[in-house]
């Protein structure tokens, strides 16, 4: 991967503005070889096509096909710090059978928790 190893140093990027660091750093290296290889090939192609002079929009457009692969490889696909659960949100998988809380229910829960 000549675009990664240069002059004895490792160079990754450029990454589009706003890319969560954890999207890159939480890759599960114990994932299937097929999934890892698919990502590495796609990432190599992204690096070959990228330039530090690219606009944020161009970089994001080129990086977009890699996002689903990174999400599949992620050990922790929750990128909002201190928001590690989905209770009461519309993000809870429907298989769990729980609808999201209404705003009134959320406020009632907040007020209830204040009594502890």
The count of structural domains within the chain is 2
Same domain, 62 and 24: yes
Same domain, 64 and 111: no
Which pLDDT score, from 0 to 100, does residue 1 have? 55
For the CA atoms of the chain, what is the radius of gyration? 19
pLDDT tens string, the chain, 116 residues long: the values are 556 677 777 777 778 888 877 788 888 889 899 998 888 888 888 888 888 788 888 888 888 998 888 888 988 766 555 445 666 777 666 655 667 788 898 899 889 999 98
By CB atoms closer than 10 A (0-12, 13-18, 19+), residue 52 is exposed
Q: What is the number of residues in the chain?
A: 116
Same domain, 25 and 44: yes
Contact 34, 69 (CB under 8 A): no
Same domain, 26 and 55: yes
Residue 104: domain span: 85-116
Same domain, 61 and 102: no
Same domain, 90 and 76: no
Could you tell me whether strands 9-10 and 5-6 are parallel, antiparallel, or unpaired per DSSP bridges? antiparallel
Which pLDDT score, from 0 to 100, does residue 52 have? 77
What is the reported pTM?
0.55
Which pLDDT score, from 0 to 100, does residue 98 have? 66
Which pLDDT score, from 0 to 100, does residue 111 have? 92
Same domain, 15 and 40: yes
Helix (H) or strand (E) holding 6: strand 5-6
């Amino acid at each position: 991967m000549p675009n990664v190893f240069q002059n004895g140093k490792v160079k990754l990027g450029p990454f589009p503005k706003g890319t969560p660091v954890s999207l890159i750093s939480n890759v599960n290296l114990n994932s299937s070889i097929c999934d890892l290889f698919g990502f590495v090939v796609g990432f190599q192609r992204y690096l070959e096509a990228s330039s530090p002079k690219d606009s944020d929009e161009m970089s994001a457009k080129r990086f977009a096909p890699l996002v689903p692969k990174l999400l599949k490889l992620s050990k922790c696909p929750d990128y909002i710090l201190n928001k590690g659960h989905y209770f009461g949100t519309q993000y809870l998988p429907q298989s769990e059978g729980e609808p999201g809380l209404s705003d009134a229910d959320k406020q009632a829960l907040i007020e209830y928790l204040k009594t502890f």
